[in-house]
């Protein structure tokens, strides 16, 4: 992997992914892709062109995924540490799954996952969804209290108002549905009036089962007001409080996570830049060694020429021998230069291949 992905390539991919222009471009593609999914529900003559646009959009998503994996450098698995990245990965992966004509409806429904990418792109939406997921364990206890509350009042309502208002309190499960309607504050006062004045006095639409009318003004008022106050005002507010608490926790976790990621990215960037600097220094050291070798050879050549001029008074034979030796040394130096040039060419070719 280190031979395939160079540090410079990873740094370039990271700069592209983190650029504002790239992020805005991907956001536009996500929004356009969401609109395109909705347009495909209409059977028009433009469906052929919508399929072409769909392929282009998926090519953009695939390129984005490749760049983000490449930006992680030698550790591409770090991309999957963020749970939101799994949605982006599944959107691309599912597109390439082979679906037959029988499953074309399923394939179109799976394309709706593309709309979820809007959530992954905006930090505010991710914060809300993350807080809901974070609050699920506490919400289970709140729902348990709410279920017990409904069960107790449903049993009491069936016992107290079953004869007067069998349409709303005829049995336990009908009473549960009536209380769910009341806790949403949907016409709960009308149900209270039926049991407060009797089903024969209040003409309530859809209650032809009034056989034994019984007016219970005090009991019905206490029953419904206490249920609305405890159910809609207290327990549901407890649920809202749990969600708000979850938002605060997710905000704190997100803040700590962003700080840790920033430090990690800074460390990774410094490490990759140090690798590039070390690579350049190694190249400069090789060039310096070659230059020092050439300077040394030139200095040796100057010393030989000086010795030759000092020995001009010696015999011609010795001078000829010295001259021939100098020529041979010059030939050796030229051959060494040629070999050094060939070695440099080979090293440059090997670096280009790497």
CA separation for the pair 193, 217 (Å, rounded)? 8
136-263 is a CATH 3.30.450.80 domain: no
Which CATH superfamily does the domain covering 7-121 fall into?
Voltage-gated potassium channels. Chain C (1.20.120.350)
- What pLDDT is stored for residue 176 in this prediction? 93
Tokens for 352?
Answer: 């280009």
Got the DSSP string for 66-85?
Answer: HHHHHHTTT-GGGGGGSHHH
pLDDT of residue 345: 73
Q: What is the secondary structure of 219-281 as a DSSP string?
A: HHHHHHHHHIIIIIIIIHHHHHHHHHHHHHHHHHHHHHHHHHHHHHHHHHHHHHHHHHHHHHH
CA atoms within 13 A on the CB side of 352: 6
**Burial class of residue 301, CB neighbours in 10 A (0-12, 13-18, 19+):** middle
pLDDT score for 2: 45
pLDDT (0 to 100) of residue 220: 92
Residue 269's pLDDT is what? 57
Distance CA 21, CA 33 (A): 18
CB < 8 Å & 24+ apart, contacts of 5-8? 5/70, 5/73, 5/74, 7/73, 7/272, 7/273, 7/275, 7/276, 8/276
- Give me the tens of pLDDT residue by residue for the chain, a chain 354 residues long: 445 556 667 778 888 887 888 888 888 888 888 888 788 778 777 878 888 888 888 888 888 888 888 887 777 788 887 777 787 788 788 777 766 655 666 666 666 777 777 777 777 777 787 788 888 888 888 888 889 999 999 999 999 998 888 888 889 999 999 999 898 888 888 889 888 888 877 755 555 677 778 888 899 999 999 999 888 888 878 888 888 888 888 778 777 777 776 766 565 555 566 766 777 777 777 777 777 777 776 666 655 555 555 555 555 555 555 556 666 767 777 777 777 777 777 776 766 665
Longest dimension (CA), the chain: 150
pLDDT score for 205 = 54
In the numeric block, which tokens belong to residue 30?
Answer: 């996500």
- pLDDT reported for residue 227: 92
Q: Under a CB-based contact definition with an 8 Å cutoff, are residues 37 and 115 in contact? A: yes
Separation of CA 335 from chain center: 60
What are the structural domain ranges in the chain?
7-121, 136-263, 265-353
Give the whole-angstrom CA distance, residue 13 versus residue 92.
19
Residue with tokens 């997710």: 250
């Amino acid at each position: 992997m280190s031979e395939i992905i160079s540090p410079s390539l990873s740094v370039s991919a990271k700069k592209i992914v983190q650029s504002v222009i790239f992020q805005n471009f991907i956001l536009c593609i996500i929004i356009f892709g969401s609109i395109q999914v909705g347009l495909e529900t209409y059977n028009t003559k433009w469906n052929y062109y919508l399929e072409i646009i769909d392929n282009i959009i998926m090519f953009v998503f695939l390129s984005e995924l490749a760049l983000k994996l490449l930006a992680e450098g030698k550790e591409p698995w770090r991309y999957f540490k963020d749970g939101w990245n799994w949605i982006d990965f599944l959107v691309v992966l599912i597109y390439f799954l082979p679906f037959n004509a029988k499953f074309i409806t399923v394939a179109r429904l799976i394309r709706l996952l593309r709309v979820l990418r809007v959530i992954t792109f905006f930090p505010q939406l991710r914060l809300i969804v993350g807080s809901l997921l974070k609050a699920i364990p506490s919400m289970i206890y709140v729902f348990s209290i709410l279920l017990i509350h409904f069960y107790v009042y449903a049993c009491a309502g069936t016992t107290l108002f079953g004869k007067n208002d069998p349409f709303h309190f005829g049995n336990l499960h009908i009473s549960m549905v009536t209380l769910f309607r009341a806790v949403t504050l949907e016409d709960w006062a009308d149900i209270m009036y039926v049991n407060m004045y009797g089903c024969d006095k209040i003409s309530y639409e859809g209650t032809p089962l009034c056989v034994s009318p019984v007016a219970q003004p005090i009991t019905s008022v206490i029953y419904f007001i206490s249920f609305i106050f405890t159910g809609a005002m207290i327990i549901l507010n407890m649920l809202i409080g749990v969600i708000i608490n979850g938002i605060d926790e997710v905000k704190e976790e997100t803040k700590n996570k962003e700080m840790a990621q920033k430090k990690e990215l800074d460390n990774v960037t410094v490490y990759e830049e140090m690798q590039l600097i070390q690579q350049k220094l190694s190249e400069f050291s090789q060039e310096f060694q070659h230059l020092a070798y050439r300077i040394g050879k030139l200095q040796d050549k100057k010393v030989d020429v000086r010795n030759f001029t000092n020995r001009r008074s010696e015999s011609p034979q010795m001078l000829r021998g010295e001259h021939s030796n100098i020529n041979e040394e010059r030939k050796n130096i030229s051959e060494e230069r040629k070999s050094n040039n060939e070695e440099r060419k080979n090293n440059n070719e090997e670096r280009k291949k790497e």
